[in-house]
Chain A
Amino acid sequence: MLRLDGVSVRYGEVLALDAVDLAIAGGERLTVLGPSGSGKSTLLRAVAGLEPLAGGSISWLGRDLAGVPPHRRGFGLMFQDYVLFPHRDVGQNVAFGLRMRGDRQADMERRVAEVLEMVGLAGYGRRRTDELSGGEQQRVALARALAPSPGLLMLDEPLGALDRGLRRRLTEDLDELFSRLRLTILYVTHDQEEALALGQRVAVMRDGRIDALQAAEELWRRPATEFAARFLGLANICSAVVSAGRAATPWGSVPVPGGTPDGERRVLLRPDGFTPVAGGPVCGTIEARHFRGERHHLRLAVRDAPPLVVHADWADVPPLGERLCLDIDPRSVLVLD
């Protein structure tokens, strides 16, 4: 459906997008995850036609989009802080796209009511946009983008301006809405939970390039690159020499999955793979201990090694300052290259 071939976008001297290749199938939901400045918003703007390409091409349904202005692409774009039209009420905001394509008044009213209902704002049509809460504005922006039934819906950090609790709830709402409408979605976020919850596939961006592109579960289980792993919060990464089924890391000698070839490798220890074992291979002093409800987040000071992050979901976590020895499940040891 949507195809990007070597797409580059330049802001003055800066290459914001650097030869990006990407393909999205019809009805697929792809999330783009990355730190700020990695080019993910630029990617959306390029697809939308709001940024001129410095190179490459974008095609939709097999048709090259070069020279097609944004208003003729038939895409929807929802902005981070919504960008609602301040001089129009909720209904007029939602109706804008319908009016632009010349719908009849009666059709317009029906569609506006339908979409507002869909996002849980039935009866809000006459409200002014500045009377709404952040969550309500977010829904209006979504309704406005959905109203003309765009072939591709792009969302740029749509939940970024909301507080944590609301974000969780809306993530679930969006997930259900997307499934129900079978939309083709390109969703940009810097929040890994959102990216994993909403995307069938996730593209991790770094410095204008796609660093990793994997199915969501696969990315979480086995991130393809060190950058992606670190961005997902997996920080226990080091170089280690693998031989005879074990890796000699600075934290201690740990088992690796069967079939790992010997030699110098980048190795990742998942923080949730540890169990306390007297005389275990990884020992250190508990330097920090944060209770997070389902588990404790520990930071272990290990001699001659960087601090080790451990997520402890077992009972009787020792207090701060205690020495602790651990073993790790070989399935939680990932060899990155």
Chain B
Amino acid sequence: MVDVLTRPFVAQVAWFTLWQAVVSTVMTVGLALPAAYVFARFSFPGRRLLGALAIVPFVLPTVVVGAAFLALLGPRSPLNEWLETTLGVARSPLRLEHTIWAILLAHVFYNYAIVLRIVGGVWAQLDPRLTDAARMLGASRWAAFRQVTWPLLRPAVASAASIVFLFTFTSFGVILLLGGPRFATLEVEIYRQTAQLLDLPVAATLSLLQMGSLLALLLLYSRYQQRLAVALRPAPSPTARRPRGASEWLIVGGVLAMTVVLLGAPVAALVERSLSFGGGYGVGNYAALFGPASTALFLPPLRAIGNSLVFAAIACLVCLVLGLLASIVIARWRGLAGQAFDALLMLPLGTSAVIVGFGFIVGFGALGGLLPFDLRTSPLLIPLAHALVALPFVVRAVVPVMRSIDGRLREAAAILGASPARAWREVDLPLVGRALLVGGGFAFAVSLGEFGATLFIARPDAPTMPLAIFRLLSQPGALAFGQAMAMSVLLMAVTALAVLLIDRFRSGAAGQL
């Protein structure tokens, strides 16, 4: 193990993983903070819609994000086509698809909503009169921000930045698709060692390194959060107001325009490319999805869509049953055991999809002799892995709601003649129902888009949609590219729809994630 860790390429990979995560985090926070301010402090036409749409990138499958950035920045980009025709230059003047810029931009695109939601949420709760009070005591605008707003906002910024860092540190799909052979994070390297070089010991060592770093990170983060926490009294009334005067409208307009371009351009390019067919526009790429086996996939694309839907349904079901049972246990066991169990279930969040996939292969391989059948070849393996990845979301959605149910409601039901089981069914279940629906929706969306773990464990003849997109994108040719675009658009639409529905549901009694 020490032998593996001291190899120069490991240091290179670890260094790249770290610095790209740091730079991505700084860029994301820097670009999203102004938007958090605008969304927290101002009301403007379309604010709700824009706020809801802004979370869509965050829930998009990584493969779709990769595909969207290939559509925007790759050789077949509409930008490039436009540059070629107007400048009359040779092929593709703008080649960003295998550069660090594509990776960083995709990370900003992907994680923008985290900062917007977390920091914006706290900012909106921050009483604007705190700034007024500072101003009246002689603080300039900038001094008031530095002395009052920023210290109060800092825990939220740190929290959002930590999450962004965690996600970019474990980034896999985006880097695999956009980085090309030159860039590898620990995740990508684990995959390469396993799938391409078949060097499991190196992969295992890298996995341990990865998990160790993540653990250290989480510990650091929780200590920092405890030190900084300041109890905020929420602002008495909604704090957002209409912008006043030209300068405020300019700020709001500018920030919104930047947000729309940043988040909209890749999606727009993806849709545009998916409709571009044979020199013009049409639905040819979509029609091809329903056609016979393509040369890239060796099977009809429709099969991948079917696989994805079936897997997602199973994963969702497994997640709901397990999540409900686990939540009951966590909500009832208030002591150390409950906390430990809670932490155990959060583990998949703290590790990464690739490690889950790798663990499934290695773990069930080791179990191989004990079980009467080989789970590694079972088609159930994929939904099980998806359920494991999605379980923390379900538990996070359900447990707070369960804990918030007033125990006296159950007592009231008992006094009115309900048995404990009946009381639970009549009181708890309906109240938890919404949260369960939300959690189930997340599980479905997560399963649909899951890429890292699936790449490890899916059999070649039963790919899911993200895998099919990945394979299509690694093929040369306009047809495969077009089909990949079309399938990405379908996957994006289904996921976005699921999440927007969830978002509407959540604005009720459901818990928080």
Residues of chain A having any CB pair with chain B under 8 Å:
11-12, 45, 48-50, 52, 69-72, 74-77, 79, 81, 83, 85-87, 96-97, 100-101, 130, 144-145, 148
**Which chain A positions have C-beta within 8 A of B137?**
71, 76, 96-97, 100, 144-145, 148
* A50-B135, A100-B139 given; A86·B129 CB < 8 A: no
**Which chain B positions have C-beta within 8 A of A11?**
241
**Which chain A positions have C-beta within 8 A of B140?**
69, 71
Name the distance in Å between B465's Cβ and chain A's nearest Cβ: 47
Residue of B nearest to A74 (CB): B138
Please determine whether A130 and B231 come into contact, CB atoms closer than 8 angstroms: yes
A-B contact pairs, 11 of them (CB 8 A): A48-B132, A52-B244, A71-B137, A71-B139, A71-B140, A71-B144, A74-B138, A85-B134, A87-B230, A100-B143, A101-B138
Please determine whether A148 and B152 come into contact, CB atoms closer than 8 angstroms: no
Report the bound CA distance from A83 to B152 in whole Å.
13
Report the bound CA distance from A97 to B245 in whole Å.
28
Please determine whether B230 and A77 come into contact, CB atoms closer than 8 angstroms: no
* A52-B245, A76-B136, A83-B130 given; A96·B147 CB < 8 A: yes
Please determine whether B147 and A79 come into contact, CB atoms closer than 8 angstroms: no
Interface residues of B in 246-292 (CB under 8 A from A): none
B233 sits at the interface (CB 8 A) = yes
Report the bound CA distance from A45 to B129 in whole Å.
11
Please determine whether B139 and A83 come into contact, CB atoms closer than 8 angstroms: no
Residue of B129, B137, B245 most packed against chain A (CB within 10 A): B137
Name the distance in Å between B509's Cβ and chain A's nearest Cβ: 28
Name the distance in Å between A183's Cβ and chain B's nearest Cβ: 15
**Which chain A positions have C-beta within 8 A of B147?**
96
Report the bound CA distance from A87 to B126 in whole Å.
12
Name the distance in Å between B8's Cβ and chain A's nearest Cβ: 46
**Which chain A positions have C-beta within 8 A of B241?**
11
Please determine whether A86 and B152 come into contact, CB atoms closer than 8 angstroms: yes
The 8 closest A-B pairs by CB, nearest first: A97-B137, A100-B138, A70-B135, A77-B136, A83-B129, A83-B133, A87-B230, A71-B138
**Which chain B positions have C-beta within 8 A of A76?**
136-137
Report the bound CA distance from A248 to B139 in whole Å.
61
Report the bound CA distance from A70 to B137 in whole Å.
9
Report the bound CA distance from A226 to B51 in whole Å.
49
* A69-B140, A79-B129 given; A86·B135 CB < 8 A: no
**Which chain B positions have C-beta within 8 A of A144?**
133, 137
B91 sits at the interface (CB 8 A) = no
**Which chain B positions have C-beta within 8 A of A45?**
132
Inter-chain pairs besides A69-B141, A97-B137, 18 sampled, C-beta below 8 Å: A48-B132, A49-B135, A50-B132, A50-B136, A70-B132, A71-B140, A72-B138, A76-B137, A77-B132, A83-B132, A83-B133, A85-B133, A86-B232, A87-B151, A96-B134, A101-B138, A144-B133, A148-B137
Report the bound CA distance from A62 to B266 in whole Å.
58
Which one, B130, B143, B236, contacts A85 given CB within 8 A? B130
B84 sits at the interface (CB 8 A) = no
**Which chain B positions have C-beta within 8 A of A130?**
231
B148 sits at the interface (CB 8 A) = yes
Residue of B nearest to A84 (CB): B133
Please determine whether A97 and B138 come into contact, CB atoms closer than 8 angstroms: yes
**Which chain B positions have C-beta within 8 A of A97?**
137-138
Interface residues of B in 215-247 (CB under 8 A from A): 230-233, 236, 241-242, 244-245
Name the distance in Å between A106's Cβ and chain B's nearest Cβ: 19
Please determine whether A71 and B135 come into contact, CB atoms closer than 8 angstroms: yes
**Which chain B positions have C-beta within 8 A of A12?**
242
Report the bound CA distance from A82 to B159 in whole Å.
28
B428 sits at the interface (CB 8 A) = no
Report the bound CA distance from A77 to B241 in whole Å.
22
Report the bound CA distance from A130 to B127 in whole Å.
16
Which one, B135, B139, B144, B236, contacts A81 given CB within 8 A? B236
